A = this chain, B = another copy of it.
Amino acid sequence: MTIDPDSIKYNSDGLVPAIVQAADTKAVLMMAWMSAETLQLSLNEGRTVFWSRSRQEIWRKGETSGEQQIIREAYYDCDGDTLLFVVDQHGDGACHTGNYSCFFRSFND
């Protein structure tokens, strides 16, 4: 599908934050950034594709680790400046640390 370019507001770096939630457990797995190009790639390919700010390159999630995220639902928020993807998380989890979710550290710990 083609995105209405007016529907999404990118920041000054041309990026928009993308929250990823597991379809089965409903856990919030991670947040990463998408460019207009990687958002379109995500919708076209049916899996999450991000923009790596550290490497400054397209990052197909799980391409090397096998921990792909297959998109079930894709939303944008009321302001059009945040995305939400509900996914089937493949492999052990979303986090490069080996944890299921990137949010494994609590302020209460």
Contact = CB atoms under 8 A, between A and B. Distances in A.
B77 A30 contact: yes
B74 A106 contact: yes
A102 to B, nearest CB: 4
A104 B75 contact: yes
The copy count of this chain in the complex is: 2
Given A43-B107, A78-B102, 19 more contacts: A1-B107, A1-B108, A3-B107, A19-B28, A19-B31, A28-B84, A30-B77, A74-B106, A74-B108, A75-B105, A75-B106, A75-B107, A76-B107, A77-B103, A78-B96, A78-B97, A78-B105, A82-B102, A84-B103
List of 9 A-B pairs having minimum Cβ-Cβ separation, nearest first: A26-B26, A75-B103, A77-B102, A74-B107, A31-B82, A84-B103, A78-B102, A78-B97, A77-B103
